[in-house]
Amino acid sequence: MKTPELAVALVMLILAWSTAVIAAEPESQSDRPNIVFVLIDDLGWNGTASYGNKLVKTPHIDKLAAEGAQFNAAYAMAQCSPTRFAFMTGQYAARTNHTAVIMEKHCMPYARMIQPESNRSMDKNLFNVGRMLKQAGYHVGQVGKWHVDLGEMGPQRKVLGRDYIAQWGWEEMKSSPDFKLEDDAKGVMKMTNAALHYLDTHRDQPAFAYLAHHTVHTRVEAPERLVQKYIDKGFARALSKQPKISERHCADFLAMIDYVDESIGYLMEGIEELQLERETIVIFMSDNGGLERLWDMAPLRRGKGSEYEGGIRVPLIVHWPSKVAAGQVIDKPVHIIDLYPTFMEIAGGDAGSHHLDGVSILPLMDGRGGFDRAAIYMHTPLYIPHYNKTPSSLIRTDDYKLIYFHGDYLHENDYKTVIPGERYELYRINEDISEQENLTDAMPEKTAELKAKLHAWLEETGAQMPVINPDFDPDGWQFKTSSRLDYQGNVILRDVSEGQKKKK
């Protein structure tokens, strides 16, 4: 016969076990939240007021941050396609070899390094983040910039219509039939309406809406009323849709940021008006750093296309009132590859045999703790002449960042001058966010430690590496954009340097 104390202990044990099992199980179909992922194109880390923008007020985005979690050290790749590949796969570009923009190819036969070829289309059978969510019981929709398939630049997308992205398991979201808005530059509000319409018409199951805006990427286009607003404030109208650096902070570009903020207000108000039975999480992020000729990234160094912070550090805000406490500012480094496992945890999904490099960032936000990743990595083994970029890789820990330039690098004071030679740069990034003091000589042991970790990671991921070019001509080659690809992968010459012409 059990004693009262033993009986009580047994009951408590059973209750504890039951609670643990319930907590470990995914939420029921009716309880699981909708997810809206808003990805802005080319919005710099300091592009919103909550991140330091002093020129444009962004009250709706600021409210999103104030009511949720703002990440101050979130990273994406330095350009659009590699970031989107990383989001879709949950894997580093070093592992997938998705390192280039799908239609960019810079032919430089006399440069110091021979660049490895990049994968330019996502495998249609890949267990991407959309397929994972779909398997977990979510409706999965997308609108806007796809940019993970070279074929989309050709007639296939127009011919297939809504069936185009279905090849990867996604639905194309459409705006509601009654939506009409004049002067909706870049379709910002129409696409936002498409996300709301998708939530409204898919109430039976949780929905994932991937809202991939084309703004604030050039061409600079915004509603005329907003452009005039900034002209009235003293900013000049852009002289063309592709402004030069002398036109930085033009009224048109500031108006584009303003319009993004208005769209977030429209999105949040629309979600409230839908009166959905389930909660809706909203995640706001940019795909890479800002374009330097349009926006000053200070205090960050450089901008889009660069391995320095201005090219890869981006805004990331998570709004989930029932789970994420308001007003959080999180300094732990995270990467866009972390969204796949984060969404998987939210949905109660399973990646199966699909390898994930990312980890869920929910423990950083919901109070559980236990997020102990040692480092994040990046690998871009290419020349990107229009962004003054040479082949590089990097490792970022909580306190330090080490950049490895594989065979040449840029002069510190003249980004048009390329200096032959391997180079490492070490920064105490938590204190030197502007990357001004290279500590490789002052801290040889830390440099060696991070160098070993970086090269071990490159080997583990099977990273495609640039190699020394036996035809290197230091006098004959020029650091200039030379070509691009058509939708079939054919090279189209654009601007071949005189040095290269003479060699042919």
Q: What is the mean pLDDT of residues 293-314?
A: 97
| pLDDT of residue 15 exceeding 70 | no
Task: Tell me the residue length of the chain.
Answer: 504
Per-residue confidence band for 154, with pLDDT thresholds at 50, 70 and 90: confident
Q: Would you state the pLDDT for residue 397?
A: 98
Beta pairing class for 207-212 and 139-144: parallel
Residue found under tokens 């990595």: 377
pLDDT at 29: 59
State how far the Cα of 315 lies from the Cα of 190, in Å rounded to an integer.
Answer: 23
Distance CA 185, CA 238 (A): 15
Q: What pLDDT does residue 14 have?
A: 34
- What percentage of the chain carries pLDDT values higher than 90? 82
Q: pLDDT-based confidence at 484, cuts 50/70/90?
A: confident
Assign 5 to helix, strand or coil. helix
Domain limits of the chain? Answer: 32-373, 378-503
2: pLDDT strictly greater than 60: no
- The angle at the Cα of 361, spanning 359 to 367, to the nearest 5 degrees, equals 135
Please tell me what DSSP assigns to residue 488.
T
What is the model's pLDDT at position 389?
Answer: 95
Does residue 367 register a pLDDT over 50?
Answer: yes
Supply the DSSP string of 68-81, one letter for each residue.
SEEEEEEE--SSHH
Whether 26 shows a pLDDT value over 70: the answer reads no
Q: What pLDDT is attached to residue 30?
A: 63
Strand partners, 9: none
Q: Report if pTM > 0.75.
A: yes
Answer whether 191's CB lies under 8 Å from 144's CB: yes
Residue among 107, 82, 85 nearest 490 (CA): 107
Residue of higher predicted confidence among 154 and 145: 145
- Structurally, what CATH architecture does the domain formed by 32-373 represent? 3-Layer(aba) Sandwich (3.40)
pLDDT in tens, 79-118: 999 999 999 999 999 999 999 999 998 888 999 999 999 9
**Interatomic CA distance for residues 432 and 430, integer angstroms:** 6
Q: How far, in Å, CA of 465 to CA of 484, rounded?
A: 21
Q: In angstroms, rounded to a whole number, what is the distance separating the alpha carbons of residues 67 and 60?
A: 11
Whether the per-residue pLDDT at 46 is higher than 70: the answer is yes
Range 444-460 average pLDDT: 98
Is it the case that residue 298 has pLDDT exceeding 90?
A: yes
Q: Which residues, listed in sequence order, are joined to residue 405 by a DSSP beta bridge?
A: 392, 423
- Going by pLDDT thresholds of 50, 70 and 90, the confidence category of residue 263 is very high
- Give the pLDDT confidence score for residue 11 in this predicted structure: 36
Amino acid making up residue 370: G
Q: Is the pLDDT of residue 393 over 90?
A: yes
Q: What is the pLDDT of residues 67-80, one digit of tens each?
A: 999 999 999 999 99
- On average, the pLDDT of the chain sits at 91
pLDDT band at 130 (very low <50, low <70, confident <90, very high): very high
The pLDDT of residue 216 is: 98
Q: pLDDT tier at 13 (50, 70, 90 boundaries)?
A: very low
pLDDT bucket at 503, cuts 50 / 70 / 90: very low
CA distance 504 to 484: 19
Q: Residues 158-170: what's their mean pLDDT? A: 93
Q: Is the model's pLDDT at 457 over the cut of 90?
A: yes
pLDDT attached to residue 156: 86
**What span, in angstroms and rounded, lies between the C-alpha atoms of 412 and 22?**
56
CATH of region 378-503, choose from 3.50.50.60, 1.10.510.10, 3.50.30.30, 3.30.1120.10: 3.30.1120.10
Q: What pLDDT is attached to residue 28?
A: 58
